[in-house]
Structure 1
Amino acid sequence: MRRSKYDLILDAAVSLIATDGLDALSYESLAHAAGLSKSGIIYHFPSRHDLLLGIHKHLAEAWETELRSIAGAPAEELTDAQRLRAVLISMGRTAELTELIMILDARNDPGYRAVWAGVDKRWMPGPDTSDAYLVQLIAYGLWAHDHLHHEPLSPADRERLLAAALAQIPS
């Protein structure tokens, strides 16, 4: 199946952010990376805000697809424990740098935050469910660990910690 130019642009933007950071993302750099004209980029994303919103949606949709794949069903068909298990397994891997950058960027704009909040609302427990939320915080730690700590977790340590966290999911 042929990829759309829209998806090609978003994939190129994700790659650019991963290698050069969010500040390096411009219409010119993106056009070069995507192999399109600057006007071709502008056609799909008339403003930088539209482009960034598109990237947030693209990444959030990819994450939700991953969560559905892990869980074997959409969020609304699962129990709280099944949703939390999928989130923990997904976040048990090391965050891609672009994901981490974009999550941090979302704090600056209500529209960007709303994209991620939709996924959070469907899949994650709220802080009022203390035992489940504690497991959620462990998931965040596993996900961001290698970007925040001077030494990454070994695969064996990551697997051990993930198993221990999975055992903490309230039934």
Structure 2
Amino acid sequence: MRTSNRTRILDAAVRVINRDGVRAVTFESVSTESGLTRGGLLYHFPSREALLRAIDEHLVQGWEASMQQLLAVPASESSAVERHAAYLRVSAQSATRAELIFMLESVEPDTDVAPWSEAMARWAPAPPRPGETDPAAWDNFIARLAADGLWVYEGMYNGKIAEDVRAGVVQRLLAMLQAAGPVR
């Protein structure tokens, strides 16, 4: 199937962000990266703000699609532990600098849309409630924090972790989730 120009623009903008940061996202830089004209970009995105909002939504959709792909069943039919394991695997293995930047930006109190917050509520373990005594609730949240930490480490510090070390961390975190139920 042929990629739409809108998707082509968004993918190009994400490449610019991953390489050069959000400040580098201009109609000129994205036009050059996508191979489309500035007019072609303006047809889909009348302003830089509209482009940035669309990038945010595009990243969330891609991120959720990656997690859904790991599940054997639709997310709505999976257990919380299965969704948490998918979150852990995707966050620990394929999260990008662009996703991290947009996730941080979309939780600002003055934003009118919080696509990352909504996605996190569907996929990631919430903090344990005050007074929680179930070790599984703590292990689930600790596994999430560790997966987030891998993401931040690579996104902020360009710190590439050796594949065998990453695999070892993921296996250890999955073992923590295992206490709350089977992980496929």
Please give the TM-score of this superposition, normalised by the length of structure 1. 0.88
Q: TM-score, normalised by structure 2?
A: 0.83
Instruction: Kindly state the Cα deviation for residue 47 of structure 1 after the two structures are TM-superposed.
Output: 1.8
Residue identity opposite 1:15 in structure 2: R
How far apart are the structure 1 equivalents of 2:6 and 2:12? 10
Whether the aligned pair in 1 keeps the contact of 2:97 and 2:156 (CA below 8 Å) is no
The one-letter amino acid of 2:62's match is: A
Matched, 1:84 2:84: yes
Structure-2 separation of matches of 1:45 and 1:110: 19
Letter in 2 for 1:55: I
CA distance in 1, matches of 2:159, 2:120: 29
Paired residues for 1:123-134 under 5 Å: 123-128=123-128, 129-134=137-142
**Which residue is 2:134 aligned to?**
none
List, as ranges, runs of 4+ consecutive aligned residues in structure 1 with deviation greater than 3 Å: 147-152
Q: Measure, in 1, the Cα distance between the counterparts of 2:174 and 2:55.
A: 30
Q: Are residues 1:11 and 2:19 paired?
A: no
The share of aligned pairs that are identical, in percent, is 34
Question: How many residue pairs align between the two structures?
Answer: 170
Find out whether 1:146 has 2:154 as its counterpart: yes
1:14-163 equivalence runs, <5 A = 14-93=14-93, 95-108=95-108, 110-112=111-113, 114-128=114-128, 129-148=137-156, 152-163=160-171
RMSD: 2.0
Gaps of 5+ in 2: 129-136
Q: 1:66/1:151 Cα in 2 relative to 1: closer, same or farther (>3 Å)? A: closer
